[in-house]
Structure 1
Amino acid sequence: MAYYLATSSGRSKTIFLFGVLSAFWSSVLVRTFAWILILGRHGVIDETMRVFGFDSHSWQLIYNSLSVLVGMSHALMPLGILTMLSVMQNIESVYGRAAATLGASGPHVFWRIYFPMSLPGVAAAALLIFVTAIGYFITPTMLGGPKDVMIAQIIVQQIDQMLDFGFAGAVAVLLLVATCVVFLIFDRMLGMAVLTGDTNSRNIDEVSRIRHRLNSLGRKLVAVAGWLSAYTVAIFHRWIKVTRVPSMNGRFVLYGLSLLVVAFLAGPSLFLIPLSFTSDTGFQWPPHGFSLQWYSEYFTSPIWIGATLRSLLVAFLTSFFALFLGVPAAFVLSRQNIYGKSAIIVLMLMPMIIPRIIVALALFYAFSKVGLLGTSTGLILGHTVFALPYVVITMMAVLRTYDTRLDYAAYTMGASKFATFRYVTFPLMGAGIATAFLFSFVQSFDELTVALFVNGGVTTTLPRQLWSEALMNTTPTLAAVSTVIFLFVLVVIFGVESIRRIRFKS
């Protein structure tokens, strides 16, 4: 999927990228509810198999390791695609054409040229998915069974049920040590700059450095993959010639596979929309009748509306403070040569690249000492910690493409630094700032981990209210609320895309 997006253009790329982004920014809770509807008893798969005459009662599609793997793969795949895409889109096609002119076939061009050059993105995607999966507890809790408990669930249980804070802290420290070891290995092999998307035109030097660090076994595996792919293609074309099937373009096959990936990412959430209008009282498929009672229950409930308004207020203030801190930090990190710059970048990105539950537990211990537990101030500060890395990364990406000669031209015309920033820099960066604000807003609006550890009392946020209701009773009200959140995220993504197009035209 990442390869197709990096090597394509036009409407199909825009549509597929929108599907990936919609899955990336959609609520994890919403997507988990969708998989409960699809995999559960009387769900989509269960009822579909029953229509075709299969005995679905002997199947166990949910509350096991398989459902956890499916749900977590669905949740983390967009992260991997976007991480690989950030590196792949900077690989120039001239290298592949040069190899082709020397006689290399398509499979060999990919495995011997393109894959080594994209290896930093592939490795970074694997790293981010791995450390994120270690700290996952939402999907395993809702889709897994008693034998599928993960380490993050143990930490949550010790805090929320056992009140054993010392044991929870010990487990979190062990998890942090294991994560740091993984990052140390990654830094020794590829360098932490890969995670910031800080790629440049020195791709050849980077590839040479990486390939020298690969051992002989790794190079042989790449060669074997190239030869196996080449033989597979040759056999496929020979079969086509014998059976006289019209020739299939490789891009067409890649398009078909990418279409399946988009359907896997964006499709499950769509099943919640018709369920939110059902007249039934349970999570079952297909929905029967038509009713607005579940939307009425949501919009007339003081608890649901209060949680929604609080989430919106917290998300707005979080985005404001994240911009207030992140934009100056991005300016300094992008334009100043300061000592320990790489270490500073890594520290600022820590909340994004280590398991969230570790940071949330650290905030729990810190806020308990200063009286911020159960307060809106503590909730906003906790959300800002997680939103700040997104602002820094977004603004650093904008500043890397910003032409500083425009500022110098304003200086030569007598403009002060403040006037230059007000009338030149800020208008040109306005689209990037708006994008960072929206990303921070969505990130905060969907944040559950901090709410579980820091929030308390009668007031709650929308994700935590969804979480509490899902653990106690699964009703179509959850589908109605999930549909509202899903449509809200789509509106935000449309807004980001509109801002990007306006910036591109300007």
Structure 2
Amino acid sequence: MTAAGRRFGAWRAAWPLLPVLIFLGFFFLYPVGQLLWLSVEIKGTGALTAMHYQRLFASTLYVKVLQITLETSAWCTFFSIVGGYPVAYLLATTSERRRNNLMLWILLPFWTSFLVRTFAWIVLLGRNGAINGWLQALGLTDEPLSLIYNFTGVMIGMTHALMPLAILTMVSVMEQIDANLPKAASTLGARGGQAFWRIYFPLSLPGVAAGGLLVFITAIGFFITPALLGGRLQTMIAQVIITQVQDLMNWAFAGAVSVLLLVTALVVFYLYDRALGMSTLAGETPSTQGGGGRNPIARLSAWIGGHLLGAIGRLCDIVSEAYERLVPRPASRPTREWSRGVLAFLVFLIIFFLAAPTFFIVPVSFTTDAFIEWPPKFFSLRWYDTVFVSPLWREAIVRSLLVGVLSASLAMVVGAPAAFVLVRQRIMGKTALLALVLSPLIIPRIIIAVALFYFYARFGALINVRFIGTSLGLVLGHAVLAIPYVVVTVMAVLKNYDERLDQAAGSLGANPVRTLWHVTIPLIRSGLIAAFLFAFITSFDELTIALFVSGGLATTLPKQMWDDALLKVNPTLAAVSTILLVFITGMILAAEYLRRRALGRSSAA
């Protein structure tokens, strides 16, 4: 067969990619491109203009908001990485059983609604909240501290929201590091500090960098936490976009602000690529990048990083040696055991910070008071009665369930076949195709939401079909966000699947369809169900698209919670949050159980 024939055969085998490419092209790429085009077009003429960008930079207001956004995102990234690194290190170096148990406490806050977690911090940090109550009870302060509606509240809430993302990204890289390398350094005379900073940390750097990149890109598009926990001085750029669309209906200027946000994200990606190489996102070390030594940014980063890590390693050794002289440890307790004990205690505190706050909303939901305070006055079910009696809340719950099931089903139909191709087929441009499929995770969600809102309005009028204010518009939009989670989950299961089972079925006369239906799918069924559940959770918890597309007519549960929170934070929200917390926790436990079962069955097979 000729080379052209082989390429044609490979692309013919890749036809299952077409549905996901067509779907994302129509409901993701085109709407985003259309929104960005608005920022440079004179309305209705097609002529180019820069007036929206002139307005954007003529006032210091928007530049200041961008500065606040970048500073807040940078600090959030710093705290997420610093706090998440010890957790990721322990997860990567402990036993599999302990790692699986600890991972559940990371996944729980990771998948729990941003709104629920934000309400939890309102309960904790508020003027009459739990923390101020404890401080005053202990006599540490005479009056409540200002812990909310300022930078402190925003930073605590955003770090709590995004640290699990950093941990999950870093641990995937750390698990690939050979544990014998630091031991070898120790046998050559390196103390613990030098072995860690000169050997282990550089090998984990791709995970650190990738985690920092994902946290930063996610943070610059945040608006829930700054809106509910911050004040006027903590306004983020996503809030400006929402105001321009919902309050002023200024699509063109909203497009210009969206371009500013997107360009900021692309600049960060460019600098990351020049310093470390984009393939470090896949877990490769910086030294393997072909262009790593060919650009000044990479060389400067390597030079500064090498000297800085060396200095930190020497400093750690000096401090450790001085401490050992001042506080000698008994011979029965070796250094490694003592260090692991300190690490375990530190990780316990961090996981407590991640997992515990959400549960504080549970007792508040049973209060007899009409406002949130700590400690709550027990015991009443009036707030749960309010939720289930109110037609607004009932309709929002039912619609969220319906939209979640439909969007997850759609994401599975177009995403699962794409995962099979990306894992099993050798096709040209596979990396670019994977990047396209995963791009809804990278593009700030606020841009996708505004783009879909405008696209639905124009396209719906063109074909006389209503998308805004309908479940159809929500299903299509949520499917765009859910597809990457389906693809990643199914790919992870397929990478552990023994393809020789399919080959054996083929040798016994089964055609590809029968092999898929009777061999492959039964073995990976648990993984497929887990992918569906993750997609469902993504839709069920989604607010940004619902904020625009629901149009006030097709309100989802997160949208109803948001509307109530803007009016007044009351125990009704605590009751809804508790219901949501119990439901999502059950879904997470089921999805994680099925995912592990699928991986175990695939490996055993």
> What is the Cα deviation at residue 114 of structure 1?
1.2
- Structure 2 partner of 1:312: 401
Asked if the contact 1:277/1:290 (under 8 Å) is kept, the reply is yes
- Structure 2 partner of 1:300: 389
Structure 1, 186-195 or 95-104: larger mean CA deviation = 186-195
Letter paired with 1:442: I
- Structure 2 partner of 1:22: 108
Q: Are the structure 2 counterparts of residues 209 and 18 from structure 1 closer, same or farther at C-alpha, using a change threshold of 3 Å?
A: farther
Measured against aligned partners, the alpha-carbon deviations of 1:107-145 in whole angstroms (never above 9, x if no partner) come to 222111111111111100000010110000000000001
Decide which of 75, 85, 89 is 2:175's aligned counterpart.
89
Are 1:462 and 2:548 counterparts?
Answer: no
> What is the Cα deviation at residue 366 of structure 1?
1.2
Decide which of 299, 305, 308 is 1:218's aligned counterpart.
305
Q: Are the structure 2 counterparts of residues 414 and 8 from structure 1 closer, same or farther at C-alpha, using a change threshold of 3 Å?
A: same
Are 1:231 and 2:318 counterparts?
Answer: yes
Asked if the contact 1:116/1:207 (under 8 Å) is kept, the reply is no
TM score, norm. by length of structure 1: 0.94
Letter paired with 1:103: G
Q: What are the residue-to-residue correspondences of 1:189-204 with 2, within 5 Å?
A: 189-195=275-281, 198-199=282-283
Letter paired with 1:293: R
> What is the Cα deviation at residue 228 of structure 1?
1.3
- Structure 2 partner of 1:267: 356
> What is the Cα deviation at residue 57 of structure 1?
3.2
Q: Are the structure 2 counterparts of residues 287 and 146 from structure 1 closer, same or farther at C-alpha, using a change threshold of 3 Å?
A: same
> What is the Cα deviation at residue 398 of structure 1?
1.7
Decide which of 477, 493, 517 is 1:422's aligned counterpart.
517
Q: What are the residue-to-residue correspondences of 1:104-253 with 2, within 5 Å?
A: 104-195=190-281, 198-199=282-283, 206=288, 213=299, 214-241=301-328, 249-253=338-342
- Structure 1 partner of 2:479: 384
Asked if the contact 1:91/1:203 (under 8 Å) is kept, the reply is no
Tell me, which stretches of 5 or more residues in structure 2 are unaligned? Answer: 1-86, 461-466
SS at match of 1:285: coil
Tell me, which stretches of 5 or more residues in structure 1 are unaligned? Answer: none
Separation in structure 2 between the aligned mates of residue 486 and residue 39 of structure 1, nearest angstrom: 20
Letter paired with 1:469: D
Measured against aligned partners, the alpha-carbon deviations of 1:370-391 in whole angstroms (never above 9, x if no partner) come to 1222221111111011111111
Letter paired with 2:346: L
Asked if the contact 1:193/1:342 (under 8 Å) is kept, the reply is no
SS at match of 1:59: coil
Separation in structure 2 between the aligned mates of residue 49 and residue 36 of structure 1, nearest angstrom: 16
- Structure 2 partner of 1:407: 502
Separation in structure 2 between the aligned mates of residue 232 and residue 251 of structure 1, nearest angstrom: 17
> What is the Cα deviation at residue 54 of structure 1?
4.1
Q: What are the residue-to-residue correspondences of 1:66-85 with 2, within 5 Å?
A: 66-85=152-171
Decide which of 412, 426, 440 is 2:535's aligned counterpart.
440
> What is the Cα deviation at residue 499 of structure 1?
1.4
- Structure 1 partner of 2:372: 283
Measured against aligned partners, the alpha-carbon deviations of 1:30-52 in whole angstroms (never above 9, x if no partner) come to 00001111111110111112212
SS at match of 2:95: coil
Structure 1, 371-380 or 382-391: larger mean CA deviation = 371-380
Letter paired with 1:411: G
Q: Are the structure 2 counterparts of residues 204 and 449 from structure 1 closer, same or farther at C-alpha, using a change threshold of 3 Å?
A: closer
Measured against aligned partners, the alpha-carbon deviations of 1:12-46 in whole angstroms (never above 9, x if no partner) come to 43332111100000000000001111111110111
Q: Are the structure 2 counterparts of residues 34 and 444 from structure 1 closer, same or farther at C-alpha, using a change threshold of 3 Å?
A: same
Separation in structure 1 between the aligned mates of residue 313 and residue 342 of structure 2, nearest angstrom: 18
> What is the Cα deviation at residue 97 of structure 1?
2.4
Q: Are the structure 2 counterparts of residues 191 and 323 from structure 1 closer, same or farther at C-alpha, using a change threshold of 3 Å?
A: farther
Q: Are the structure 2 counterparts of residues 83 and 70 from structure 1 closer, same or farther at C-alpha, using a change threshold of 3 Å?
A: same
Letter paired with 1:35: W
How many residues were matched structurally? 502
Asked if the contact 1:141/1:149 (under 8 Å) is kept, the reply is yes
> What is the Cα deviation at residue 321 of structure 1?
0.7
Letter paired with 1:110: F
- Structure 2 partner of 1:374: 469
Q: What are the residue-to-residue correspondences of 1:473-492 with 2, within 5 Å?
A: 473-492=568-587
SS at match of 1:280: coil
TM score, norm. by length of structure 2: 0.79
> What is the Cα deviation at residue 394 of structure 1?
1.3
> What is the Cα deviation at residue 231 of structure 1?
1.7
Asked if the contact 1:16/1:259 (under 8 Å) is kept, the reply is no
Asked if the contact 2:496/2:599 (under 8 Å) is kept, the reply is no
- Structure 2 partner of 1:328: 417
Asked if the contact 2:418/2:487 (under 8 Å) is kept, the reply is yes
- Structure 2 partner of 1:40: 126
Separation in structure 2 between the aligned mates of residue 25 and residue 297 of structure 1, nearest angstrom: 26
Separation in structure 1 between the aligned mates of residue 329 and residue 406 of structure 2, nearest angstrom: 66
> What is the Cα deviation at residue 263 of structure 1?
0.5
Q: Are the structure 2 counterparts of residues 270 and 245 from structure 1 closer, same or farther at C-alpha, using a change threshold of 3 Å?
A: farther
Separation in structure 1 between the aligned mates of residue 449 and residue 500 of structure 2, nearest angstrom: 42
Q: Are the structure 2 counterparts of residues 402 and 316 from structure 1 closer, same or farther at C-alpha, using a change threshold of 3 Å?
A: same
> What is the Cα deviation at residue 215 of structure 1?
2.7
Are 1:431 and 2:529 counterparts?
Answer: no
Q: Are the structure 2 counterparts of residues 427 and 206 from structure 1 closer, same or farther at C-alpha, using a change threshold of 3 Å?
A: farther
Q: Are the structure 2 counterparts of residues 129 and 288 from structure 1 closer, same or farther at C-alpha, using a change threshold of 3 Å?
A: same
Separation in structure 1 between the aligned mates of residue 552 and residue 599 of structure 2, nearest angstrom: 46
> What is the Cα deviation at residue 307 of structure 1?
0.2
Q: Are the structure 2 counterparts of residues 167 and 125 from structure 1 closer, same or farther at C-alpha, using a change threshold of 3 Å?
A: same
Same amino acid, percent of matched pairs: 49
Structure 1, 275-284 or 10-19: larger mean CA deviation = 10-19
SS at match of 1:13: helix
Letter paired with 2:318: Y
